[in-house]
A and B are shown apart, each in its own frame.
Chain A
Amino acid sequence: MLSFISRRLLTAVPTLFVVIAGAFFLMRAAPGGPFDADAQLEPEVIDNLRAAYDLDRPVIEQFVRYMARLARGDFGPSITYADYSVTELLAIGLPVSLKLGGVAILVALAVGCLLGIFAALNRNRWIDYVTMTVAMTGFAVPAFVVAPVLTLIFGLYLKLLPISGWNDGALSNMILPVIALALPQIAILSRLTRGSMLEVMRANYIRTARAKGLPEYKVVASHALKAVSLPLVSYLGPAIAGIMTGSVIIEQIFGLPGMGRYFIQGALNRDYPLVMGTVIVYATAIILLNLLADVIYGYLDPRVRRE
């Protein structure tokens, strides 16, 4: 198991390097720069500004200097938010996104699995049809349509929940963003669980468990669930990526001070260090969480540990 984890960790390093280099050179390859909009500045001022952010050097040298800085854990200063370093901005944004995304994925997993299992156990009864219709709808109606509709109903008409803002992650501020973020994943997870559950319930060992007289809940809980969880774990990686990209939009819609907002602001303003910082954090998170999913999978199914 340990060698399995370390092998996976070793492939994570080059992947992260590809991300950093890719994002870095992609941004530098485009014409123009972060100070294009400041047309009122004197050319000498712009030259000084460019020098301050290393932008006057050859691209390769910029990259080496950036990597050296990064190795010391320094993401550099932000260009748009002139008084902040990127590290400070990430320290503001990361906890917000982490809390939002973490709660959303837990909600999605819990609700998606339960719905899928109930639908499968009541196959072709009304509970199955209702669940699968809801799942299909959640799949076809994107989060950026669901979110405004939710704010309209619960925020403006019923006046039950705040329509935007973070308020230090208060429960009432979290409810709508979490629902909007989790809904598409709930849709996919419940369909996956249902399909996998239907397959597992036909297996011989389930028939054996029933034959020896176990009550149905025990058959499900102690025999079926482990097999059902395998496809779910392998979907964890894409689910996490989906939650992260979704949270960029959700943060925008609900005005939450998370990483997604800094990423979009940074990209729009050509704030190179800020974009690099957010992309590195996102990529690290995705890579590490994929690794975690792999490890869980390897634990559940020992065959994949030996490649």
Chain B
Amino acid sequence: MGFLTKRRDQQLAAMQAAGRTVGRSLWQDALRRFATNRAAMGGVVVLLLISLLAVIGPMISPHTLEDYYWEYILVPPTFENAHWFGTDSNGRDMFVRTFHGARISLTIGVMTTAVALLIGVTWGSVAGYFGGRIDNIMMRFVDVLYALPLLFFIIILVTVFGRNIYLVFIGIGAVEWLTMSRIVRGQTLSVKQKEYVEAARALGLSNLQIVRRHVVPNIIGPVIVFVTLLIPTTILVESYLSFLGLGVQEPMTSWGVLISQGAASIDTGPWLLVIPGTFLAVTLFCFNFIGDGLRDALDPEGR
């Protein structure tokens, strides 16, 4: 991103030299601030690297998810037979399993966040936009759900309806939308009363135009920040379920499954816990850094 801003700076300098004034949008300002935040940019780079490895990792290894090597059981990380991350107690290659787990964990993180985003934004914006009685009823409903031990409901859901990955998506997504809806409602309520919305209405803009040009751009900042913080939360919830044996099922795997198996054989093969645990922790770190960076970039006064 550094080179992006540099190129823009050059363009700006060139345009200013030509005697033209150029405006800079708030988004460009935010991007510029984000690009100078080293922790956040580091998070982006590392996360891209992990995502890349999740895609190509299982391809560059000569092994597959279903290969069992009876002669290589519980081997620590080694170059022999290309077991770069060692093997587990069934003689399966950990390199392939770790990055296959990365695929599943990251996918679940993004998909469930998308589910939560969809429900939360719809619910919150409807409540905030209509206000009054509808708002009251809808937010009371959220309050009631908020007070429930919802993770226990997900556990009941996956145990009684069978362990299937789509159920995990829906279950976690259906739980995590609550905070999102509160954020969106609050934002919509405050934006709706702003003078510029009134001005836009006075200028004769239609409702749709007002929502598109004035409401959405102004509520989207906190939503983006919350999304980057929600993805690691959902990854964590999935790992939690998989750790209990309720999430992803064999032969598919996720970081939660790997950590659970690693924890069971920690005295004989510590790398089985340490490797997936490190990847999970680093991923969560990255998302948090990016989220913090985005918050600082999008809301500079709020620091």
Q: Say how far A184's CB is from chain B's closest CB, in angstroms.
A: 10
The reply to whether A148 and B284 form a contact with Cβ atoms under 8 Å apart is no
Q: Which 7 A-B pairs have the closest CB atoms?
A: A30-B160, A148-B263, A140-B284, A267-B159, A145-B277, A140-B281, A141-B281
30 contacts between A and B (CB under 8 A): A11-B143, A15-B144, A19-B149, A23-B153, A23-B156, A26-B160, A30-B160, A137-B281, A139-B284, A139-B288, A140-B232, A140-B281, A140-B284, A142-B239, A145-B259, A145-B263, A145-B277, A148-B262, A148-B273, A151-B266, A156-B267, A245-B151, A248-B244, A249-B243, A264-B155, A267-B155, A279-B156, A283-B148, A286-B148, A286-B149
Separation in Å of the A97 CB from the closest CB of chain B? 13
Instruction: Type the 1/0 row for A252-291, where 1 means its CB is closer than 8 Å to any CB of B.
Output: 1100000000011001101000010011001100110010
Smallest CB gap from B148: residue in A? A19
Nearest-neighbour CB distance to chain B for A144, whole angstroms, equals 5
Name 18 extra pairs, CB < 8 A, besides A14-B144, A27-B160, A279-B156: A18-B148, A23-B152, A30-B160, A136-B285, A140-B285, A144-B259, A145-B259, A148-B262, A148-B266, A152-B266, A156-B267, A248-B155, A248-B244, A249-B240, A263-B152, A268-B159, A275-B156, A282-B152
List CB contacts (< 8 Å) of A147-177 with chain B: 147-149, 151-152, 156
Chain A residues closer than 8 Å to B267, beta-carbon distance:
152, 156
> Which of A144, A270, A290 lies in contact with B147, CB distance below 8 A?
A290
Give the size category of B's interface with A. Answer: 35 or more
Chain A residues with CB under 8 A of B240:
142, 144, 245, 249
B148 contacts A253, C-beta separation under 8 Å: no
Partner among A26, A149, A268, A270 whose Cβ is within 8 Å of the Cβ of B153: A26
A60-96 toward B: CB 8 Å interface, digit per residue (1/0)? 0000000000000000000000000000000000000
Q: Are A145 and B281 interface neighbours, CB within 8 A?
A: yes
Partner of A26, one of B156, B239, B243, B260: B156
Q: Are B161 and A30 in contact (CB under 8 A)?
A: yes
Contacting residues of chain B (276-301) with chain A, CB-CB under 8 angstroms: 277, 280-282, 284-285, 288
Cβ of A22 within 8 Å of any chain B Cβ, yes or no, is yes
Q: Which of B156, B243, B282 has the most CB of A within 10 A?
A: B156
In the complex, B270 has a CB within 8 A of chain A: yes
Does B236 make an interface contact (CB < 8 A)? yes
Which residues of the partner chain B approach A149 to less than 8 Å between Cβ atoms? 266, 273, 277
Chain A nearest CB, measured from B66 CB (Å): 26
CA distance A182 to B185 in the complex (A): 33
Whether B157 and A26, one on each chain, are in contact in the complex, defined by CB atoms closer than 8 angstroms, is: yes
A244 and B243 contact, CB distance less than 8 A: no
Q: Is the CB of B147 within 8 A of A15?
A: yes
Return the CB mask of B253-277 against A: 1 if under 8 Å, else 0.
0000001101100110010010001
Q: How many residues of A contact B (CB 8 A)?
A: 47
Tell me, in angstroms, the Cα distance from A241 to B155 when the chains sit together.
15
Q: Does the CB pair A264–B244 fall under 8 Å?
A: yes
The answer on a CB contact under 8 Å between A144 and B159 is no
Chain A residues, Cβ within 8 Å of B155: 248, 263-264, 267
A144 touches B148 (CB 8 A): no
- Return B162 CB to nearest CB of chain A, in Å: 8
Cβ contacts B103-139/A at 8 Å (1 or 0 each): 0000000000000000000000000000000000000
Contact of A15 among B148, B157, B236 (CB under 8 A): B148
Interface majority SS on A: helix, strand, loop or mixed? Answer: helix
Q: Could you tell me the distance in whole angstroms from the C-beta of A43 to the nearest C-beta in chain B?
A: 23
Encode contact with A along B235-248: 1 for CB under 8 Å, 0 otherwise. 01001100110000
How far apart sit A252 and B284, CA to CA, in the bound complex (Å)? Answer: 24
Using known A-B contacts A270-B160, A279-B152, A283-B149, determine if residue A144 contacts B288 with beta carbons closer than 8 Å. Answer: no
With A139-B288, A140-B284, A249-B244 known as contacts, the answer to whether A287 contacts B147 (CB < 8 A) is: yes
Complex Cα distance A282/B161, Å?
22
Could you say which residues of chain A place their CB within 8 Å of the CB of B277? Answer: 141, 145, 149
Interfacial chain B residues near A142, Cβ < 8 Å: 236, 239-240, 259, 280-281, 284
Residues of A within 8 A of B152 (CB): 23, 245, 263, 278-279, 282
Q: B residues 144-203 with Cβ under 8 Å of A?
A: 144, 147-149, 151-153, 155-157, 159-161
Q: How far, in whole Å, are A268 and B160 apart by their CA atoms in the complex?
A: 8
Given known A27-B160, A244-B149, contact A144–B284 (CB-CB < 8 A): no
A283 to B259 alpha-carbon distance, docked (Å): 29
CB distance from B109 to the nearest CB of A (A): 14
- In the complex, are the beta carbons of B149 and A279 less than 8 A apart? yes
Residue of A nearest to B160 (CB): A30
| Bound CA–CA A130/B29 (angstroms) | 32
By a CB distance below 8 angstroms, the chain B residues around A140 are 232, 281-282, 284-285, 288
A136 to B282, CA, bound (A): 11
Question: What is the CA–CA distance of A275 and B152 in the complex, to the nearest angstrom?
Answer: 10
For the complex, give the distance between the alpha carbons of A22 and B266 in Å: 39
Instruction: Report B-chain residues with C-beta under 8 Å of the C-beta of A11.
Output: 143-144
